[in-house]
Structure 1
Amino acid sequence: MAARCDRSCVVKQPIAKHPGPSNWSKAVSDAEKIVGYPTSFMSLRCLLSDEFSNVAMHVKKLVGTQHPLLNTARGFVYDSRNNFQMRGLVVLLLSKAAGPSHTSSDALAQDMVSGIYPSQRNLAEITELIHTAFLVHCGVVNLKEWTASDGLLKDMEFGNKMAVLSGDFLLANACTGLAQLNNTKVVELISSAIGDLVQGIYYENSNNTEENNLTTKVDTTAWEEQTFLSHGALLAKSCQAAMELAQHDKKSQRLAYKYGKHLSLGHKLNSDLQPFVKSNVGEQVSFSFSAAPVVFHRHIVGPERWQQQLQQAKTMRNQLDYSKLLAAVKSEKGLSLAVNLCCYHGNRALEAIQAFPSSEARSALENIASAITKF
């Protein structure tokens, strides 16, 4: 396992000590100006339709309840830190960085706006619609684990119906837009990405049922494979599809795919690392047991030692003291392994983009890839 980490120990740029989110936000903000598009790639044709207006009216009925669908909806509007719509931006930047292919016709090139084909802009919207649909679907509450403290049962049931309905609506619009691109290879790529998402979320749900029942056989390779399905496949295949729409060759498509893949994995690792690299002594912390540092830590120490650490972190009220658990994770190599792996994927994304012509768009993609190696 340690040998796998060594591949990433040489980092092109030193890890900065200033907060990662500000680096990421600045890189994304600067990139938006280049493509002339804000990060909201949601199709206005979809969001302003009568059908979606009806869905929105029903979702309003959840105000005052504790259903997670409301927090998801608020996040799209207010929470710019997480850059929910980063995927569409990367698709547009790659499209602009690659430019028109040598085999494309002059008539097709005339349709370009700011160096991007209309079909590539449509693809960026489709990518965001698919991602948003899955975020909404993930807001479905497991009523088997429902308790009275979670809210009224009827509110949870109604919220679940709205999460399924609105998620299906967004996904249906994405599939309609996908068909209108009239490119069978792109349809195949994005359809397979949807299948990967479903499979990845299934893995996550089956592995994250309870803190004591997490699988003990997840090493870095297995983590990367599972995380790619749920967090990387959509972006990687959308980047490849953007090259296909511009009739670029197989090499360009492969490099675009690699950039999307490594950027996604690096971004997920950076996000998982934030509670561990930003926390101070005595500060209240919380983190997911599926976060990469915890998964790698459990694999290193083994199930018996992990159970001991869980028991030692339990309070008198049988609740977990996350600060003790965080200290335990920091004391082993799981944290450094996650940091090295994050830098590795950031560097691989940087390498993939070097084959594209030097431009403002390529520089923006480099800045985004560099930002995920900073904490």
Structure 2
Amino acid sequence: MALMKCVMWPLGVFRLGTTVFCSKRELSLFPGSPTNIQWSKVVSDAEKIVGYPTSFMSLRCLLSDELSNIAMQVRKLVGTKHPLLNTARAFVYDSRNNLQMRSLVVLLISKAAGPSKSADDTVQHDMVSGIHASQRNLAEITELIHTAFLVHRGIVNIEELKSCDGPVKDMQFGNKMAILSGDFLLANACTGLAQLQNTKVVELVSSAIGDLVQGIYYENSYLPEKNAFTDDIGISNWMEHIFLSHGALLAKSCQAAMELANHDPEVQSMAYQYGKHMSLSYKLNSDLQPFMNGKYCGTSFSLNCAPVVLHQDVIGREAWMEQVKQAQLKGNLVDLAKLQEAVNAGKGVTAAIDLCRYHGNKALENLHCFPPSKARSALENMVYTVTRFP
């Protein structure tokens, strides 16, 4: 799953032409959580509701001899520029700041739904803090799958390396370790999935893995070639592709959690829709963050993010390319500050905010089938936080 190498330039200036433009790679398929105090409090309160902090990978996996051996090998990358090392550091940072959210949402929606009407006393005895053991295992599996894809996304294209990127042998070794460790995490997730002994759940989560692969493929197809600046993908295609790469895993994991508790198809559908719309709202919030100050402050942004795509839809492709041309500097460089100013002056930002709130409202609608509870309130508060803008 080799990806093209991103090359960063200072002061918000990115090279075009033979070097591909892209923003700094995020470390989450829920990319960049809303960076505010309210979000941290919502997460902290939610973790108390489900019984324990969820912002970690499987401890059994982390403490295994196999992964310990991989970690020893990854230490050899210290001092190199391979992204796998930064990814490993970010896992520790994320766990301390409660940013790994998929497992938390799965546990919250499991607790909010509670036992099914057909559940007997034996099944309810299996529940701890209102959550089945199999649902907790599913939340852990979801996080492992997410982490495996993060590791794989750190693979670099050796053919596009430059001398300033470091020795080729370091990058080749880093790629081997990224493939090995990512495959190991994914294998553990699949083993845990089989142990749930539920054919429909296996089908749901397996299809989510396929969606992730397809979504990442689409993301890479956005990357321009030669002198093309960015693809004219349109907001409808953007929504479809973003769901595959950012929403399918959460949506189908929420549905699978309902299946494990023997809830009826209607409840399963509601859980799926909540996960879908919540993830889309979250992604839109993330894409909007660089545009919230009204002026460029050095924060990189993708030219295929929602505000830019919506801006292109409003003004047309030709007008957008003219704005890009006006922002070009010497040496095929582009001034991101000018481009952000052009996007802020249009309707792309307000349209993205409206779209974020729309998906947030759809997520809230699908929680109405669950009885009032602290878990449901926590899920609602997550939506309120990502749809709140200055």
Please report the TM-score for the alignment, with normalisation by the length of structure 1. 0.91
Unpaired segments ≥5 residues, structure 1 = 1-18
Which of 220, 242, 248 is residue 227 of structure 1 equivalent to?
242
- Paired position in structure 1 for 2:285: 270
Q: Which moved more, 1:63-72 or 1:231-240?
A: 63-72
Alignment of 1:273-288 (within 5 A): 273-278=288-293, 280=295, 283-288=297-302
- The Cα shift of 1:220 comes to 2.3
Q: In the alignment, is residue 72 of structure 1 matched against residue 87 of structure 2?
A: yes
| Runs of 4+, deviation exceeding 6 Å | none
Partner SS state of residue 56, structure 1: helix
- Paired position in structure 2 for 1:185: 200
- 39 and 278 in structure 1: CA distance in 2 versus 1, 3 angstrom threshold: farther
Alignment size in residue pairs: 355
Partner SS state of residue 67, structure 2: helix
Whole-Å separation in 1 of the counterparts to 2:56 and 2:50: 12
Whole-Å separation in 1 of the counterparts to 2:349 and 2:97: 22
Q: In the alignment, is residue 313 of structure 1 matched against residue 348 of structure 2?
A: no
- The Cα shift of 1:361 comes to 0.5
Does the CA-based 8 Å contact 1:20-1:372 persist in structure 2?
A: no
- Paired position in structure 1 for 2:308: 294
- Paired position in structure 2 for 1:339: 353
Whole-Å separation in 1 of the counterparts to 2:120 and 2:325: 66
Alignment of 1:1-375 (within 5 A): 21-79=36-94, 83-209=98-224, 212-216=228-232, 218-278=233-293, 280=295, 283-375=297-389
Does the CA-based 8 Å contact 2:211-2:244 persist in structure 1?
A: yes
CA shift digits 1:92-128 (9 cap, x unpaired): 0001011111112211110110000000000000000
Whole-Å separation in 2 of the counterparts to 1:96 and 1:309: 50
Whole-Å separation in 2 of the counterparts to 1:83 and 1:312: 41
Partner SS state of residue 123, structure 1: helix
- The Cα shift of 1:81 comes to 9.2
- Paired position in structure 2 for 1:13: none
Does the CA-based 8 Å contact 1:63-1:70 persist in structure 2?
A: yes
RMSD of aligned Cα (Å)? 1.7
- The Cα shift of 1:330 comes to 1.0
Partner SS state of residue 278, structure 1: coil
Q: 2:92 is matched by which residue type in structure 1?
A: V
- The Cα shift of 1:83 comes to 4.9
- 40 and 237 in structure 1: CA distance in 2 versus 1, 3 angstrom threshold: same
Does the CA-based 8 Å contact 2:235-2:313 persist in structure 1?
A: no
Partner SS state of residue 320, structure 1: strand
Partner SS state of residue 38, structure 1: coil
- The Cα shift of 1:298 comes to 2.4
- The Cα shift of 1:152 comes to 1.4
Whole-Å separation in 2 of the counterparts to 1:209 and 1:126: 34
Does the CA-based 8 Å contact 2:55-2:94 persist in structure 1?
A: no
Whole-Å separation in 2 of the counterparts to 1:201 and 1:344: 25
Q: 1:123 is matched by which residue type in structure 2?
A: L
- The Cα shift of 1:213 comes to 4.4
Please report the TM-score for the alignment, with normalisation by the length of structure 2. 0.87
Whole-Å separation in 2 of the counterparts to 1:299 and 1:59: 44
- The Cα shift of 1:166 comes to 0.5
Flag the structure with higher helix content: 1
Q: 1:348 is matched by which residue type in structure 2?
A: K
Q: Which moved more, 1:158-167 or 1:330-339?
A: 330-339
Q: 1:237 is matched by which residue type in structure 2?
A: K
Unpaired segments ≥5 residues, structure 2 = 1-33
- 51 and 136 in structure 1: CA distance in 2 versus 1, 3 angstrom threshold: same
Whole-Å separation in 2 of the counterparts to 1:294 and 1:144: 30
Partner SS state of residue 55, structure 2: coil
Partner SS state of residue 184, structure 2: helix
Does the CA-based 8 Å contact 1:239-1:257 persist in structure 2?
A: yes
